[in-house]
Amino acid sequence: MLSNRLNMIQASPIRRLYPYSDEATRRGIYVYPLNIGQPDIETPKEYLSAICNFEDKVLSYAISRGVPELINSFVKYYNKHKIDFNSDEIIITNGGSEALLFSMLALCDVGDEILIPEPYYSNYNALAQIAGVNIIPITTNAESGFSLPDKSTILNLVTPKTKAMLITNPSNPTGKVYSEAEISLIREIALEKNLFIIADEVYKEFIYDGLDFISFAHFEDVEDKVIVIDSISKRYSACGARIGCVASKNKDLMKGMLKLAQSRLSVATLEQVGAANLINVPDSYMEEVKIEYKKRRDLVYNALQEMEGVICKKPLGAFYIMAKLPVVDAEKFAIWLLEEFNINNETILITPAENFYATEGLGRDEIRISYSINLEALKKSMHILKEALKVYPGRK
C-alpha cells in the first residue's frame, strides 16, 4: 500500500497532457508547446565555459550551503538590484522548488496554513502536500487583471494556523506585477499578524512597459519576515541547471534551513561552478532578452484581443498570459486541439488553468499560455487558437 502523502500529490497540470501531445506527434502533427515555461533563448556561454574549464581531479561534494563563489555571485547580483544580502544569508538550492520546500518545512508544522493569491503556480500544491501545509487561496480574477482584494478580505483568511503569505512577483501563471500599493498591503498584514512573506521572485528580470521591480527585500520594516526565493532557470535560460537559492536576513531561520540543506548533502558541484560564472554575463544579454520577450508578449496579447469572447488583461511581467476562453471546459478544449484539430498538420499544446486555483470550480474556462517560444511560432500558434475557437463544438 502506498502512502497517503503520495496519493494526495496531484500530477502536474502543465505536463499532464503530454501523452495527447505525443500521440499527435506520432500521427505527424507538429505541436507548438505553449504549455511550459521553457525558454528558447540561448544559455549564456559563461555558464558552459566555466564547466568546461573545471580542472579538479576529483568531483567532490559541495558545501551544503553552496560553493562560496556562487553565493558571492548572488550577493553581487542582489547588490545590482539594491538588495543587501550577506553571504551567510543565502543558501544554494536545487532550483527554486527546493527553496520553496525548505521555506514551507522551516515555517510550518503539519496542518499549518500559507496564504497564496490564486491562480498560482500549480507545483505549489505538490510542495505543500509534501510538507503537510494547507494552502488558503486569496482569490483574484482575470477581469481585474488579478489584482489583490482589499485588506479586510485578506485579513478574514488569517487564522491561528497561518504562518506566511507566498507572493509570486511577477506571477506565474498570470504575468501580474504587484503595484507599490499591493506590496505595502502585504507588508502591513505581515506586520499586523506576525506572518512571514515568502517572496518568489524568479521572474524579477522580466518586467515591461517601464515598470520598476519592487522586492519585499527592499523594506527594512519586514526584513526579518521576508524569505526570497530565486533561480537562474528563467533569467539565464538555464532550467536544466537546477540552481536556485533561498535568502533571508532572519539569522535563526537561515540556521534552521541549513539543517535542511545538510540533510540532502549538497547541490551538484559542476552546476554551481557554471552558475557562479553567470555574474560575468554582460548586462546587454538581459536587456536583449527582455526586449525579445516584450515583443512576444505584445504579439500574443494583441492576438488574444482580436478573438471573440476571450478575456485577458495585458500582463506586465514574466512570460505567461492567463486568458478566459468562450468554452465550457478548457481541458476538454486542450485535448480536442491535440486529437481533432490542426491547420496544415500543426496544432498547439496549452495548459488548462483549473489546477492553478485552489477554489473548486474556478479557472475551468481559462488557460495559461507561455510565450517562451519564438515570434514566428507564436504567430502560427495564435492563428491556430483563433481558428479553433471558431469551430470548437464546446463553446459557451
Q: Sorting pLDDT into bands at 50, 70 and 90, what band is 34?
A: very high
Cα torsion 287, 292, 295, 300: sign: negative
Q: What is the pLDDT of residues 53-64, one digit of tens each?
A: 999 999 999 999
Both 76 and 208 in one domain: the answer is yes
Q: What is the pTM of this model?
A: 0.96
Q: What is the pLDDT of residues 350-393, one digit of tens each?
A: 999 999 999 999 999 999 999 999 999 999 999 999 999 999 99
Share of the chain above pLDDT 70, in %: 99
pLDDT at 7 over 90: no
Q: Does 370 map to a domain? A: yes
Buried b (16+ CB within 10 A) or exposed e, 176-213: bbbeeebbebbbebbeeeebbbbbbbbbbbbbbeeeeb
Q: Does 254 map to a domain? A: yes
Q: Does 234 map to a domain? A: yes
pLDDT of residue 4: 84
Both 294 and 233 in one domain: the answer is no
Q: Sorting pLDDT into bands at 50, 70 and 90, what band is 6?
A: confident
343: amino acid identity, one letter: I
Q: What is the CATH number of the domain that holds 224?
A: 3.40.640.10
pLDDT of residue 14: 67
Number of domains in the chain: 2
pLDDT at 129 over 90: yes
Q: What is the pLDDT of residues 282-321, one digit of tens each?
A: 999 999 999 999 999 999 999 999 999 999 999 999 999 9
Both 31 and 79 in one domain: the answer is no
Both 36 and 49 in one domain: the answer is no
Q: Report how far residue 127's alpha carbon sits from residue 120's, in angstroms, rounded to the nearest whole number.
A: 13
Domain that holds residue 359: 4-42+284-391
Both 172 and 267 in one domain: the answer is yes
Q: Sorting pLDDT into bands at 50, 70 and 90, what band is 8?
A: confident
Both 101 and 75 in one domain: the answer is yes
pLDDT of residue 3: 86
62: amino acid identity, one letter: A
Both 84 and 220 in one domain: the answer is yes
Per-residue pLDDT, averaged over 128-146, amounts to 95
Both 330 and 382 in one domain: the answer is yes
Q: Does 396 map to a domain? A: no
pLDDT of residue 326: 97
Residue tagged 500500500 (cell numbers): 1
Final residue in a domain of this structure, among 247, 280, 313? 280
- At 260, which helix (H) or strand (E)? helix 251-263
pLDDT at 11 over 90: no
C-alpha grid cell, residue 224:
526579518
Q: Does 12 map to a domain? A: yes
- Is the bond preceding 119 in cis, omega lying within 30 degrees of 0? yes
Final residue in a domain of this structure, among 232, 250, 280? 280
Both 22 and 110 in one domain: the answer is no
Q: What is the CATH number of the domain that holds 357?
A: 3.90.1150.10
Final residue in a domain of this structure, among 251, 280, 309? 280
DSSP secondary structure code for residue 80 in this structure: H
Buried b (16+ CB within 10 A) or exposed e, 369-392: bbbbbeeebbebbbebbeebbeeb
Per-residue pLDDT, averaged over 104-132, amounts to 97
Mean pLDDT of the chain: 96
Both 109 and 163 in one domain: the answer is yes
Both 215 and 123 in one domain: the answer is yes
Residue tagged 517562451 (cell numbers): 372
| Contact (CB, 8 A) for 188 and 371 | no
Both 273 and 170 in one domain: the answer is yes
